[in-house]
Structure 1
Amino acid sequence: MTTDEKNAKKASIREKMLEHQSEARVVRKIVLIISILLLLFIVFIGGGGYLYIQSALKPVDSKSKSQKMVEIPIGSSVTGIAQTLEKNGVIKNAKVFKYYVKLKNEGGFMAGEYQLSPSMDVPEIVSRLKTGKVLAKASFKIAIPEGKQLKEIAAIMAEATKQNEEDVFNKLNDKEFIKELMAKYPDVLSDEIMSGSIKYKLEGYLFPATYPFYKPNPSVEEMVFAMLDKTRTVLADYAEESNDKKLSVHQLLTMASLVEEEATGKADRKKIASVFYNRMKKGMPLQTDPTVLYAQGKHKEKVLYKDLEVSSPYNTYQHTGLPPGPIANAGKVSIEAALEPEETDYYYFLATAEGEVIFTKTLEEHNKEKAKHISNKK
């Protein structure tokens, strides 16, 4: 190859390299422009979305002096409440209201007739719905105490509404009604309640509280909706902890019901829960008297040895682990004890006549305390 040919080849290579560099610069410019445009688009959309949400949370009309009567029916979902508020013109956007409630983890909305104004913002409306600041006074209230069983709750409901007790109890156990409730409250009522060994499907699920009703003679359905709404609200506060401990709602309420039934006013419920969990870890039967009485369908002050022979999956003297389901309703203190038992090495406890609860580590210690404080209990 001659010198001229070599120079020509070098010039060609140099020219191609310059072309590639020029193309690369163009490509980089295009990428930069596209990136800037995308960034501007994201900022525009994000900013627009943020402003839209902020606007939706503000009053429909901050200068309005009008008041609107808005009825929140018993058993209303957040979606239903949001739609009702938008329909009545007191919020701008039902979806934004719903997402705000979920983001803020709000809940516990109370049924009733509310006097609301378009001049209220969403946080103010949420606060009013939670505190139950209604225009109308409750027609009457139903108080469901802690530690009550389904039969007792049915009696309370029947007396308060002047209905037949047997009819109320039958409704609480109606298969079609139970299916309807499971569809309405899937996060509370799972397939676990459908086990054939469960005595009453709703046992332990009707939360102990005082329930106001704003219309005379509410139906059984309306009363149950109010109670399950409360159960859902309460359990939502413990959902994360329940998941961490791998406890289903059914298991949680079952354990809480045992604590509730065993506890006295002076009892340390977290220690009682610790005894149950310790025994379960060792494969020991729980041997808790209230499950025997529940199996028999009786209320007795003393459990006799012959009572322990009752054949039932609820008899925790004969079967290890938790019973098939709750044996009563449980309050927050017992639910928290079931979730956060104290760390102990106790395996036994007994309640004295004075209501004190004595915890022991061994059967020998337990029997000594039993001899001191309990005479002929069984």
Structure 2
Amino acid sequence: MTTDKKDIIRKKMLEHQSEAKVVRKIVLVISILLLLLIVLISGGGYLYIDSALKPVDAESKTLKKVDIPIGSSVTGIGETLQSHGIIKSAKVFKYYVKLKNEGGFMAGEYQLSPSMDVPEIVSRLKTGKVLAKASFKLTIPEGKQLEEIAAMMAKATKLKQEDVLNKLNNIEFIKTLMAKYPDILTEEILNSSVKYPLEGYLYPATYPFYKQNPSVEEMVTAMLNQTRKVVSAYSEESKKKNLSVHQLLTMASLVEEEATEKADRKTIASVFYNRMKIGMMLQTDPTVLYAQGKHKERVLYEDLEVDSPYNTYKNTGLPPGPIANAGKASIEASLEPEKTGYYYFLATSDGDVIFTKTLEEHNKEKAKHITGKK
């Protein structure tokens, strides 16, 4: 190879090296700029969120009346607070509530100030520290059926019980509620075998109302909000147990109706699950009474013949839907039953519950404590 050719090759190599150095410098500069941009954006985002969580005016002594209607969504509450100048950003409020898994906000007319930060406002909305006193409080006990709840709602608002019950079972009304609560009210409640679609879904609690005559929808919305709050807390456990909300509330209603003050709900639940595991009928008396639409102290053998999908003496598995509302203890028992070998139980006259493993043992206990009951 001649000297000239070598010089040409050497020059080209030097040129390539020089170009590579320039490219590396450009890439380095761009990378640094991008990194700085990311830092500025993330830092700016953090500062924005941090600022939005702080009071609008920390020195303000103004108190504003803010009305939070029954059934308000987190988005709606945030927009209301922002429009009243109580918070800086409805979006940041919404994301904060979701991130902190807050909920259970209570309706009412609140007295809030721009000097309050978001955590304090959330706390007030949860505890119901309102300006106005409740016009009345409606207490729904555990183990109540829809017809009984309709009577309580009617009495509290001077509505006719028949009108309340008709509203609670109106298919168009039910569908509007399903659209509003798709996570708890599913197509399962519209099964043709289900007696009342909302049976078991109106959570037992005390509900304050801030006007004398709230509508049926307003009252039901308050109850469904509470049901959603309670049930959503157990969503992971429900998935693990492969239970839909409808199945969970159905099982919980059976536990609720069978339980006495002295009863261990988790052991009662274990009996039901043990029976279902081997295809044995649940044979629980409250389902028979529900099928008949009766309240009786004694269930007779003739009652067990009622032809109904709710009759667990004639049908295996869970009934088509809940037979009453259930409290937290019964819901938890349905998700975390004891591990037992029991297949039978009976309640004595003094409220004790006796659990047994075989029919022979059960019949012996029955002869001792409940002879002649059926």
Which interval holds the TM-score relative to the shorter structure?
Answer: over 0.9
Matched, 1:244 2:240: yes
In structure 1, how many angstroms separate the alpha carbons of the residues matched to 2:76 and 2:167?
Answer: 25
Shift of 1:76: 1.1
Q: Spell out the pairing of 1:260-299 with structure 2 (5 A cutoff).
A: 260-299=256-295
Query: Which residue of 2 is the match for residue 214 of structure 1?
Result: 210
The residue type equivalent to 1:211 in the other structure is Y
Q: Secondary structure at the match of 1:35?
A: helix
Q: Spell out the pairing of 1:1-378 with structure 2 (5 A cutoff).
A: 4-5=1-2, 11-378=7-374
Q: 1:173 to 1:9 in 2, by over 3 A?
A: same
In structure 2, how many angstroms separate the alpha carbons of the residues matched to 1:56 and 1:369?
Answer: 66
In structure 1, how many angstroms separate the alpha carbons of the residues matched to 2:288 and 2:11?
Answer: 96
In structure 2, how many angstroms separate the alpha carbons of the residues matched to 1:15 and 1:308?
Answer: 103
The residue type equivalent to 2:77 in the other structure is I
Q: Secondary structure at the match of 2:316?
A: coil
Q: 1:18 to 1:234 in 2, by over 3 A?
A: same
In structure 1, how many angstroms separate the alpha carbons of the residues matched to 2:23 and 2:109?
Answer: 65
In structure 2, how many angstroms separate the alpha carbons of the residues matched to 1:245 and 1:189?
Answer: 19
The residue type equivalent to 2:253 in the other structure is S
Q: Deviations over 1:182-232 (max 9, x none)?
A: 111111211111111110000000000011111111111111111111111
Q: Secondary structure at the match of 2:67?
A: strand
- The alignment's TM-score, normalised by the length of structure 1, stands at 0.96
Q: Secondary structure at the match of 1:358?
A: strand
The residue type equivalent to 2:239 in the other structure is N
**Aligned sequence identity (%):** 79
The residue type equivalent to 1:372 in the other structure is K
In structure 2, how many angstroms separate the alpha carbons of the residues matched to 1:37 and 1:59?
Answer: 34
Moved over 6 A (4+): none
Gaps of 5+ in 1: none
Shift of 1:346: 1.2
Q: Secondary structure at the match of 2:66?
A: strand
In structure 2, how many angstroms separate the alpha carbons of the residues matched to 1:250 and 1:26?
Answer: 67
The residue type equivalent to 1:332 in the other structure is K
Q: Secondary structure at the match of 1:258?
A: helix
The residue type equivalent to 1:30 in the other structure is I
The residue type equivalent to 1:129 in the other structure is L
- The alignment's TM-score, normalised by the length of structure 2, stands at 0.97
Q: Secondary structure at the match of 1:108?
A: coil
Q: Secondary structure at the match of 1:70?
A: strand
In structure 2, how many angstroms separate the alpha carbons of the residues matched to 1:68 and 1:104?
Answer: 26
In structure 2, how many angstroms separate the alpha carbons of the residues matched to 1:307 and 1:98?
Answer: 53
Q: Secondary structure at the match of 1:177?
A: helix
In structure 1, how many angstroms separate the alpha carbons of the residues matched to 2:358 and 2:8?
Answer: 96
RMSD: 1.4
Shift of 1:307: 1.1
